[in-house]
Amino acid sequence: MAPHTTLGPRAAITGVHAWVPPHVVTNQDLTRYIDTTDEWIYTRSGIRERRWLNDDTLATSDMAVEAVRGLLIKKNLQPTDIDLLICCTATPDMLFPATANIITDKVGAVNAVGYDLSAACSGFLYGLSTATAFIESGRFRRIVVVGADKMTSILNLEDRATAFLFGDGAGAVLVEPNTEGLGVMDFLLKSDGSGRNYLYQKGGGSLNPASHRSVDAREHYVHQEGKTVFKFAVTGMADVAAEIMERNGLTADDIAWLVPHQANKRIIDATRDRAGLPESKVMVNIDRYGNTTNATIPLCLWEWEKQLHPGDNLILAAFGGGFTWGSIWLKWAYETTN
């Protein structure tokens, strides 16, 4: 994939908002379900606690709606102002219709086209890259990219290899044209389907539709071969972040923030080391939210929003199921005043 260029306006994030469920589940709480300790989980992953939606009547779209409504209020926009809503998720409300359609209906975005994007933990970066292309082409002017996952809906609380890793949450960004040279400067996306058997949800699709057998075999839960995924993730995420910096002539001094997908603190540290960045330039909140899959990066941007300034160089990076991975270099486009 060649470095990205555009002659027209750039696509800039002009607002961010997020929502996490209020119910906090600590590592200690998890010892009720699995044979584990707070020390093991924190040392191996960097996670202390996560949020669970804990309500069978609520789904991924409900969390996304909270994030999108908050974003519109912050930006003083009406739902009818949105042209396109891309929902990046691995846990859609249903296989179809798209969760994006449910979100646009619930928020009243009647003028918006909506669709879902499936790229596991890299979904938000794929979604932001897609929005970038639409903004640069002039086809849409106001795009919401929302990353949302109710990971507890596919979490096997008897599997100690995955039960501690994931949490629920949603984050949304507004993407608009910018004529001052700010916004997405380059993106680099990668995928390798030969990794598909290491991190997946086997049941529920056309290959293994829901049946008594599939439920008994626990095929509707997330399955991960942690060690293998770790091995690919630790090099994949570090390599792609380093590659986007190198091909754009960026050094560590040029970077204000690394915004990594929050899957494991050890993977984040490897990416930071490879980019030559100090810990003070890396957004980390995995300790409080765990891995919220498509929501991790917008959750970081939301929490750090007040510390971001126009022109700041941000490197976003992710690795996830598929395998999918990628990185985005963007120049932050606004100052937060309130």
Q: Could you confirm whether 261 is annotated as catalytic?
A: yes
Q: Is 164 in the site for ligand UT7 (CB under 6 A)?
A: yes
Stretch that binds ligand UT7, among 101-109, 150-158, 249-257, 261-269 (CB under 6 A): 261-269
Catalytic residue among 4, 121, 178, 294: 121
Residue 186's DSSP bridge partners are: 329
Q: Is 32 in the site for ligand UT7 (CB under 6 A)?
A: no
Q: Which of 6, 31, 33, 34 binds ligand UT7 (CB under 6 A)?
A: 34
Stretch that binds ligand UT7, among 71-79, 127-135, 160-168, 251-259 (CB under 6 A): 160-168
CA distance 228 to 225: 6
Helix axis angle, 265-275 to 38-45, nearest 10° = 30
CA dihedral 105, 107, 113, 117 (to 10 degrees): -90
The distance from CA 258 to its chain's CA centroid, rounded to whole angstroms, is: 14
Q: Which of 135, 233, 240, 282 binds ligand UT7 (CB under 6 A)?
A: 233
Q: Could you confirm whether 220 is annotated as catalytic?
A: no
CA distance 327 to 131: 15
Q: Is 291 in the site for ligand UT7 (CB under 6 A)?
A: yes
Q: Which of 320, 329, 330, 332 binds ligand UT7 (CB under 6 A)?
A: 320
**Residue partners of 287: CB distance under 8 A and separation at least 6:** 42, 46, 47, 48, 49, 265
Judged by beta carbon, residue 167 or residue 320, the one nearer ligand UT7 is 320
Q: Could you confirm whether 291 is annotated as catalytic?
A: yes
Is the CB of residue 118 less than 8 Å from the CB of residue 148?
no
Q: Is 161 in the site for ligand UT7 (CB under 6 A)?
A: yes
Q: Is 45 in the site for ligand UT7 (CB under 6 A)?
A: yes
Buried b (16+ CB within 10 A) or exposed e, 70-80: bbbeebeeebe
Residue ranges binding ligand UT7 (CB under 6 A): 34, 36, 40-41, 44-45, 121, 160-161, 164-165, 226-227, 229-230, 233, 263-264, 267, 291, 319-320
Active site residues: 121, 261, 291
